[in-house]
Amino acid sequence: MSTLVTGGAGYIGSHVVRLLEERGEQVVVVDDLSNGIPARVPNAVLVELDLSAPDAESRLRAVMEEHDVTSVIHFAAKKQVGESVERPLWYYRNNVDGLANLLGAMEATGVDTMVFSSSAAVYGMPDSGLLSEKTECRPINPYGQTKLVGEWMIDNAARHGLKAIKLRYFNVAGAGWPDLADTAVMNLVPIILDRVAAGKAPIVFGDDYPTPDGTCVRDYVHVADLADAHIAALDHLGAGEIAESVFNVGTGRGASVLEVIDAMSRALGRHLTPEIAARRAGDPPQLVADVSAINEVLGWRASYGLADIADSAVPEGMRP
């Protein structure tokens, strides 16, 4: 018996792989290594494979049979909003075709359990800042669209016997282990670290939003907590009863860009004075998760806060 983790050599996937291994489970990682790093998963079987390649479905079937796979956690996907606007078809090919191949291989081999990485990007520009799973999904970029299509594909498969949970991540940051840190410089926390390392000030995209301090509010969730939510989801599916199948994963608390910069100042042991820049296109003022469903159904709740996220994100060489 083993769990197949697609994208398992990535930032979030590798955290889940490590938790599964700590529980003594066998893990098979499938990753195209476009962003994945083999050193993050030294103890797992690693199969280099692009899920959207023409032969991916048959290769996945072979992997599932060879390693007696019984469940899948599916991370492998492209995840940059701006890039998805530039290359929408490529996003659909990677994220949607990749999932179709994976679901096809699962159906063919009788693997009936899946946890899927979805995103708060499915909500788009919501009217209200506190989002429950019942909030209407109106994605505003191809990335968010591919995640919503993925949810629909899984819902269809669920009508034919798939047991699945979709997790809608809010803003993931921090590191559960130093060697699994986010090496991509795409989101606020790594961008702050990158700029500080280069001797530059952090940039705030707009301080005239209708929020308490004028900067955008997001729900920052520690990657170790997020990883734990996948384990809770897998255990829930294993227990057999699936009342709800989609859950927000956040803390339920918002933090502004200035509050994040403040937390990073403390973690770095030096005061950071940000530069205020113009608003970035497409940023909603506030996105905070209603986490009551995941708490009630999966018994999961974030255990770390912003200070823990900031402390864990700072690499050894930049610690005070």
Question: Catalytic amino acids?
Answer: 143
94 contributes a contact to ligand WQD by CB under 6 A: no
**Coil, strand or helix at 173:** strand
28 contributes a contact to ligand WQD by CB under 6 A: no
Q: Is residue 174 within 8 Å of 308, Cβ to Cβ?
A: yes
78 contributes a contact to ligand WQD by CB under 6 A: no
Q: Which is nearer to ligand WQD, 161 or 273 (CB)?
A: 273
Residue selected from 61, 218, 222, 230 as contacting ligand WQD according to rule CB under 6 A: 218
251 contributes a contact to ligand WQD by CB under 6 A: no
- 236's tokens: 């829930």
171 contributes a contact to ligand WQD by CB under 6 A: yes
280 contributes a contact to ligand WQD by CB under 6 A: yes
Residue selected from 203, 272, 276, 318 as contacting ligand WQD according to rule CB under 6 A: 203
Q: Which is nearer to ligand WQD, 35 or 187 (CB)?
A: 187
Q: Is residue 268 within 8 Å of 192, Cβ to Cβ?
A: no
Residues 6+ away with beta carbon under 8 Å from 81: 121, 141, 143, 144, 282
Helix (H) or strand (E) holding 151: helix 142-158
Min CB(124)–ligand WQD separation in Å: 10
Measure the CA dihedral 215/292/229/170, to 10°: -20
204 contributes a contact to ligand WQD by CB under 6 A: yes
222 contributes a contact to ligand WQD by CB under 6 A: no
119 contributes a contact to ligand WQD by CB under 6 A: yes
84 contributes a contact to ligand WQD by CB under 6 A: no
Residue selected from 49, 60, 257, 288 as contacting ligand WQD according to rule CB under 6 A: 257
For the four alpha carbons of 270, 276, 280 and 286, in that order, the dihedral sign comes to positive
Q: Is residue 45 within 8 Å of 18, Cβ to Cβ?
A: no
Selection from 317, 221, 300, 316 nearest residue 260 by Cα: 221
Which positions touch ligand WQD (CB under 6 A)? 79, 81, 119, 121, 169, 171, 187-188, 191, 203-205, 216, 218, 257, 280, 283
